[in-house]
Structure 1
Amino acid sequence: MSVTKIRKGTFQHVESELYAYHETRKEIVRLKNEILYASGSTDENVGGGRGSLPGDPTSRTAILLSSHKKLEQLRNIVDAIESVVDRLTEDRKKLIRLRYWEKPQRLTWDGVAAELHVSRRTAMNWRDEIVRAIAEKIGWR
């Protein structure tokens, strides 16, 4: 993994995205469903000319799905996390599960390290590498 230096705030943001990973996936599904099954017209072009979206509902839905900024951002975050986690060794995957995805959070870093049979420092180094790799994949610095 890379040794790229990232800002402290970026590091914390990536960690918060790791904690919220499962909620983010649910939010993506919710947003997709909202776009796919939106009721009524979302035309805000009151009194103006013709809208720029096509009249074909299928094309309109495809454009909305591909151009929705929040949905795109959430997908980028989830894709980056999944891409990095998929390439990790089993020990590092277990670190992610124990520290970020297990609810309720019951282990400290010392507890996570003990579960992995490594030192606390090794567990923290793994975390640093993973967070930096995710930040780099998303394009955050």
Structure 2
Amino acid sequence: MKLKRATFRHIEAEIYAYNDTIKAIEELRADIILAGRQGELGAAVGGGGYITSKVERRATKLADSLLLREMERITKAIAEVYAKSKEEVRRVVWVKYGLAIDWQPPQELAQKLQNRNRFDLTARDMAEILAVDESTFHRYRTGFVYGIAEKLGWY
């Protein structure tokens, strides 16, 4: 079965935005946890007649945040697939998407890409920088995206 083009592009957009998403998750958590810190931490009678504290309500809000959970699920899938990837795949992912999780690209590869904008490079250019065949570049890139889709249950 083949991924729909829109799904493939969505996963690619998530890969490009991985570092920004991690920052957004941290900020969202902090906003939820720190919300209401101005008031006292006490107890209040809830709608069902039971006593709930503001801390409990914040914790529930944090746990129930659908946006937060989906962002965490996607970033976790990307990180897991990345962690299982071979060195060659990591190189392709770094050149294509600029993503390096607990990995440093080789110095010579970083120098080749230093004064170039990855968004202006064609697949052929990226394959030349990586010293691989263009079909190999596509195979690694597609395999990485499909691995993420599989982890997310989108494939």
TM-score, L = length of structure 1: 0.81
Q: Which residue of 2 aligns with 1:32?
A: 29
Q: Structure 1: which amino acid aligns with 2:122? A: T
Query: Is structure 2 residue 121 aligned with structure 1 residue 107?
Result: yes
Measured after TM superposition, the shift of residue 115 of structure 1 is 2.4
Classify 1:104/1:33 alpha carbon distance in 2 versus 1 (closer, same or farther; 3 Å): farther
Structure 1 segments of 4+ aligned residues over 2 angstroms from their partners? 51-54, 56-62, 102-108
Aligned pair 1:50/2:64, yes or no?
no
Aligned-pair identity (%): 31
Give, in whole Å, the separation in 1 of the partners of 2:5 and 2:49: 42
Q: How many residues in Structure 1 have an aligned counterpart in Structure 2?
A: 131
Question: What's the TM-score, normalizing by structure 2?
Answer: 0.74
Q: Output one character per residue of 1:83-102: Cα deviation in whole Å (capped at 9) or x when no partner.
A: 00010011111111111126
Residue 32 of structure 1 aligns with an amino acid whose one-letter code is R
Q: Which has the higher contact order (CA 8 A, sep 6+)?
A: 1
Distance 1:54 1:139, change over 3 A: farther
Q: Could you say which structure has the larger radius of gyration?
A: 2
Task: Could you tell me which runs of 5 or more consecutive residues in structure 2 were left unpaired when the two chains were aligned.
Answer: 39-45, 100-115
Q: Tell me what 1:124 maps to.
A: 138
| Aligned 8 A contact 1:98 1:107 in 2 | no
Any unmatched runs of 5+ in structure 1?
42-48
1:26 CA drift (Å) = 1.1
